[in-house]
Structures are given as C-alpha cells and as structure tokens.
Amino acid sequence: MKASQLFYPTLREVPSEAEIVSHQLLLRAGFIRKNTAGVYTYLPLARRVLRKIENIVREEMDKAGGQEIVMPIIQPRELWDKSGRWSLYGEEMFKLGDRHKREFALGPTHEELITTLVNADVHSYKGLPLLLYQIQNKYRDEIRPRFGLMRGREFIMKDLYSFDVDDAGLDVSYQKMHKAYQQIYERLNLKYRVVQADSGAIGGKESHEFMVLAASGESEIVYCTLCDYAANVEKAVCSVDQAVRTEEESRPLTKVHTPGQKTINDIVEFLGIPKTKQIKTLMYSADGELIAAILRGDRELNEIKLKNTLQANELFMADEAVVKEICGAGFGSLGPVGMPVRIYIDLEVAAMNNFACGANEDDYHFTNVNLDRDFTAYAVADLRNAVAGDKCPCCEGNLQMIRGIEVGHIFKLGTRYSQAMQATFLDDKGQEQFFVMGCYGIGVSRTMAAAVEQNYDENGIIWPLPIAPFQVIIVPVNINQADQKAMAEQLYQQLTANGIEVLLDDRDERAGVKFKDADLIGIPLRITIGSKTLQENKVEMKKRWEKESFLVDIDAVIGTVHDIIFK
C-alpha cells in the first residue's frame, strides 16, 4: 500500500474529547472517528487491525470445533419476552419499532436467538455438542459510554454458544474455550491474565474473565505471586485463616463518651484505638429489608459478595433517616450491640475481640466488644474486598493487585436459557432434556483499544506484530531523489512479493513528518532510505519498540525483515 493512497488522516493535536491513551492515539493516528457518543467509524488502518484480531479469533474458534454463522442484529421482542429479559435488560437495550408498530431490539447479545435456532433444528443428542459463533456488531445503550472504544454503545464482539447434553459435556466445551482463549491472547501477543469472575445474576456457576494488563484498566485484579490463583476483586476470596486471631482475654464491655466522633479515623485519634481494633457498621437495604454488614475498621465492603450472601436482587445503601429511626443513631455511631436488624459479619471480624464500635447512640462508642457475648451475628461470611498483601486462598503466597481490561468472558450458563425458551432434545434414552449451554465472548474492538493501552510511548502506538496494520513501513527520506525512490519501490515490491505487508510512504513530505506519522500509527518495523546510506548500499532499519536503529545491506533486507517478523 502506498501512503499517498491510504486514507489515514493524522492529527497533530489531541482532540479534546479523548481522555485515555487508546482513544487519543486511535483518533490522532487516523484509525477511528466518532459519529456519536459511543459509536465509531473504523478507518482503513483500524479495519486492518480488526481483521487480524478477528482472524486469529476465528482460527482458534474453528480449531476448537466452533462453526461460524451470522445472526441478525435486529431481534423481535417476543424472543426477549420468552426469556424475561425484555424488561430485565431494560434501558440497556436499543429498541425500535417497525411501521406496523412491532417492537424490536438491536441485539446486545444473542442467547435468545441462538437458543431458538438450535431448538428448531437440533432434536437429538446425536447433534451435540454444537459450538456456534459469530463475529458481529453488538448494541448496548450504556448509561455512560466512555473511553472511546473501551465502552462503546456499538462494538464488535465474537460470541460463541455451546450446546451440550449434560454438565459433563459443558465442562468439556468450557475447557476447550478456556484453552482457545489462552491461545488467542498468546497469539495476539498481549500480556494478559485469566481471572475467576463473578458470573452476575444471570450467569451460571463458573465464569472466567480474560484481562489484558494495563495501568488504565477498569478492573482490579488480585493474583498470587506463587501459584496460579487470580481473580477479579469482585470475586477474590478472602479466606478464614487470613484473619489475625487475637489471643487476649476478653475485657468487660465499656461505654465511652465520644462527642462528635464519627469516623474510624476520629476514633483512632480520640481513643487511640487502631483501625484494626475497630469495626465499621454499614447499613443496607436488601430487597426492602434493612440489614447491617460489619467489617474491620480498615476494610472495604464488597457489595457483590454481600449481595450474593444475601441472595438479594436489589441492594443499596440504606437511607440515613430510616437507619436513625430503627437503630437510634446516625451512620457514624452505629454498632452491632443492640442492633435490631440482621447482622452479617465478615470472617475477619469473627476472629477479632475487644474491639471498638458505635453504641447506636449519638456521641457514644463501646470498647472491648466481643462477638457472641455482646451481640450475635445472623451470618458470618466473606464480605470484604481483598487487598494487596492478603494471603492467597490457595497456597502460602501473598496476593498482589494489578489493573486489567476485560477483553474476554466465558460463562457456564447451564439450562437457564434452554428452560426459559423451552429448548430441548431427546437423549439416548429417548428422554426430553434441556440443552446445557455456555457462552463465550471476546470484545474484538475493545481488544484493539486494549492493545494500544498496553503498547504505546510518547510518540504513538506500538502495535504488537501479529495485529499491526502493516508490518513494515518504508520511508524514503526524499521521494524526489530518483535513487531513493527507485530503491523504495524495489524493496516494496520484493517485500510484498515475500508476503510481507508493507506501507510505502511515497508522499512528498519532509522526513520529519513521515517519521512522526510512522511512529504515531505504530508500524513495528521501519526501513529508512537515505542518500548517505544508499551510497554504501545499505538502508536503516528501526524497530518501533527500540530506541536505536541499525544498518542493513540491501541484499540482506528481506532476510532480516523475515527474521524479525516471523522470528
């Protein structure tokens, strides 16, 4: 491809709408343009990258037994009524009507559609397992689209759905996908981590997320430095034996006057009691019922864990006025002693003694509080967020934190959708059974953005070789010099003939402009043709990710490029 022919409008300045690196660079380098919030046009360079990602995904899906199909974007309401998700998905779905006033949705995901499809045409266990996938635009009317391609309202996703005869079959399909996903991220050449994930209200028992590691990632991940354990903080287990047991004797409960002291820090200062000897009491409304969640003073509540423990559908922090009425004190003065609602305590708290807490009376606290003697817990559960330094739940190692971008997510769905959609087959005993399903997504466009978040410098993008829009860029310093132009053409032809994707910057621009653009769009390998080196029958080569360039004999160019690209 000749740069003079390529549509890649680069920008010198950062468009003001872009906050994060991938958004800024993809805009500046002429990969994407915004149409409306969360909706983008992919220009030629982006299209090339997306295709490469898609092809790697496609190959691995096929290798794992997947078969590609394409499902419609427009889906009728009835399908979604069947699964109950028309209202459940609610606002997040783009909805539209036709001229007959029939209602439709732009597909945010395709479980309903594919379950219907498979149910219509697979009637026997002999047709299973069946793995079908597509790479397609998805539509979600995000409350707040942001970060460019990271959280768009229209995005490209690969979604595969597995259909099996039973749970054992699902396990096999799930493992296949798990492995295929690892292959994919290896091949994309991205640093990533697989983590245990919360499967959400709708998911099944098991779920893993694939995280591309990047400082700007939205998700927090904990991982063990010794073993393979890794999990989304939402999910990370804080096991019992992490709790520091205190061996001291129980001391008598004491009520202390603490005028105006509300926060944990206030008590640290006022009473000289460390955070780790205090507890905090958080009030929640769970499906309308007021409950108390209790944690050590320095810990953070994990709402997802609490929600799962309570098996609540709706959970939000209680209104202070309500709390005051029922408990007799405001937020800063609460405690479990005499608390008139159900008390859920964190595992760690169960191991503490002689701690301090609010007395359910403004301006008073208790010290030397002890579980069972002074109050009883309705349940003890893992409720807090893991933090760096926690003991690994699987081994003797310690946990560390890192940030990541969720680019893949796999779920065991079980029979949730097949039951809702009444999708069945006959097993080998002639019994009617529900399909046992799994679903497996990869955010293709998000993966492109994540690759940028992970690979850039002050000059622009540094594409990993497997997904670079071009592998090599040839820059003749001055295209008006006949010998440079001729050499550029010659190398371009030769490299192209050798199956290498080359961009020839044949524009009549100054060298600086061409270098800047080459760096910005992130082509991994640059070949510079200048008059001095040309006289010595050499060209200059530079790897985008390295600082120094090096000279190569013209005869050796093909071989050198080959070595670098195909390693």
**Least distance in angstroms from the C-beta of 148 to RNA:** 8
8, 21, 61, 111: which one contacts RNA (CB under 7 A)? 111
CA distance 473 to 471: 7
HSE-up of 468 (CA within 13 Å, CB side)?
29
Q: Does 415 bind RNA (CB under 7 A)?
A: no
The mark string for 160-199 relative to RNA (x by CB under 7 A, - otherwise) is ----------------------------------------
CA distance 236 to 213: 17
CA nearest neighbour of 365 among 469, 277, 470, 254: 254
CA nearest neighbour of 438 among 86, 131, 127, 83: 131
**Least distance in angstroms from the C-beta of 371 to RNA:** 29
**Least distance in angstroms from the C-beta of 520 to RNA:** 5
Site for RNA in 10-49 (CB under 7 A): 10-17, 19, 28, 34, 36-38
**Least distance in angstroms from the C-beta of 15 to RNA:** 4
**Least distance in angstroms from the C-beta of 250 to RNA:** 37
**Alpha helices of 92-226 — where are they, by DSSP H?**
111-121, 167-188
Q: Does 305 bind RNA (CB under 7 A)?
A: no
E strands in 203-288: 207-213, 219-224, 230-232, 254-257, 279-286
The mark string for 493-512 relative to RNA (x by CB under 7 A, - otherwise) is -----------------xxx
240, 486, 513, 563: which one contacts RNA (CB under 7 A)? 513
**Least distance in angstroms from the C-beta of 83 to RNA:** 8
**Least distance in angstroms from the C-beta of 276 to RNA:** 25
Q: Does 477 bind RNA (CB under 7 A)?
A: yes
HSE-up of 193 (CA within 13 Å, CB side)?
25
Q: Does 58 bind RNA (CB under 7 A)?
A: no
- Which whole-number Å values give the CA distances from 262 to 256, 259, 285, 359, in the listed order? 13, 9, 21, 11
Q: Does 147 bind RNA (CB under 7 A)?
A: yes
**Least distance in angstroms from the C-beta of 16 to RNA:** 3
Closer Cβ to RNA, 153 or 365, answer by number:
153
In single-letter form, the type of residue at position 81 comes to: D
31, 192, 417, 434: which one contacts RNA (CB under 7 A)? 417
CA distance 148 to 24: 8
Closer Cβ to RNA, 110 or 176, answer by number:
110
The mark string for 542-561 relative to RNA (x by CB under 7 A, - otherwise) is x------x------------
CB burial string 465-497: b at 16+ within 10 A, e below: bbbbbbbbbbbbbbbebeebbebbeebbeebee
Q: Beta-carbon neighbour count of residue 257 at 10 Å?
A: 9
CA distance 316 to 326: 17
Site for RNA in 446-475 (CB under 7 A): 459
Site for RNA in 522-541 (CB under 7 A): 528-533, 540
Q: What's the alpha-carbon Rg for the chain, to the nearest Å?
A: 29
Q: Is residue 151 within 8 Å of 444, Cβ to Cβ?
A: no
Where on the chain is the footprint of RNA (CB under 7 A)?
A: 10-17, 19, 28, 34, 36-38, 92, 109, 111, 142-147, 200-203, 316, 409, 411, 413, 416-417, 439, 441, 459, 477-478, 480, 510-513, 515-517, 519-520, 528-533, 540, 542, 549
